[in-house]
Amino acid sequence: KAGVTQTPRYLIKTRGQQVTLSCSPISGHRSVSWYQQTPGQGLQFLFEYFSETQRNKGNFPGRFSGRQFSNSRSEMNVSTLELGDSALYLCASSLAVGAANTGELFFGEGSRLTVL
Amino acid sequence: AQKITQTQPGMFVQEKEAVTLDCTYDTSDPSYGLFWYKQPSSGEMIFLIYQGSYDQQNATEGRYSLNFQKARKSANLVISASQLGDSAMYFCAMRENFGNEKLTFGTGTRLTIIP
């Protein structure tokens, strides 16, 4: 069974550019969430998508956006990049069937973004 | 207040010894889940173990066990018979409100296994 797949794994952008990251969840998983990891702030929740709807959102500016497609694949976009956006962006998927959920939530290998 | 607290920034343990990584949490929600993840230098977050707030028994997964003390709000990870490959960052995380997949993470513990 394939795991969570994130592309690209590494990318370098310059300030002011925009970037799109992709996440393919484990087959059958309906929830996809995104996290930003930096040395200073640690792991922070960006947003979660379930059945193509954003169900939860973290405390990030509007430059950070995302979407989910009918096949559960998700993309996140960061516009007008700033130096502080340099981070490891992690995507996680889960079955997300409410109270019956066993709780397991699986991450991809991440996309490492460097903003110059 | 911190929702997840990991008080050990770093630990050094001799190979084959058992190790306990501490995690305390804070929530007023009766329904929550607690997770432990391992993050090697490659960056991938590897799921280790999960404990639901209503689970009566402590979770175990191979060499990993979770020492869940609900009244003390602690969820310590125990790794038995440590191996060199266990060297990594370890994160404790909590999910509140079933149906909400948002995880709140602690700051992590860097575990180094000494041969």
Q: What percent of chain B has pLDDT over 70?
A: 97
The token pair that represents A76 in the structure block? 């996140």
The mean pLDDT value for B69-91 works out to 97
Reported as a pLDDT band with limits 50, 70 and 90, residue A100 is very low
pLDDT digits (tens, 9 = 90+) for B26-54: 999 888 999 999 999 988 899 999 999 98
Indicate which of A21, A29, A43 best probes the interface with B, i.e. most B CBs within 10 Å of its own CB. A43
- Torsion B112-A3-A43-B67 (CA) sign: negative
> For B95, which residue in chain A has the nearest alpha carbon?
A103
Whether the per-residue pLDDT at A99 is higher than 60: the answer is no
The letter for the amino acid at B76 is: N
B99 and A99 within 8 Å at the Cβ level: the answer is yes
d(CA B3, CA B10): 20
Whether the per-residue pLDDT at A1 is higher than 80: the answer is no
Burial per residue of A67-94, b for 16 or more beta-carbon CB atoms within 10 angstroms, e otherwise? ebeeebbbbbebeebeeebbbbbbbbbb
Reported as a pLDDT band with limits 50, 70 and 90, residue A95 is confident
Q: What percent of chain A has pLDDT over 70?
A: 92
pLDDT digits (tens, 9 = 90+) for A57-71: 999 999 999 999 999
> For B54, which residue in chain A has the nearest alpha carbon?
A99
The mean pLDDT value for A19-28 works out to 96
Find the DSSP H helices in A14-70: none
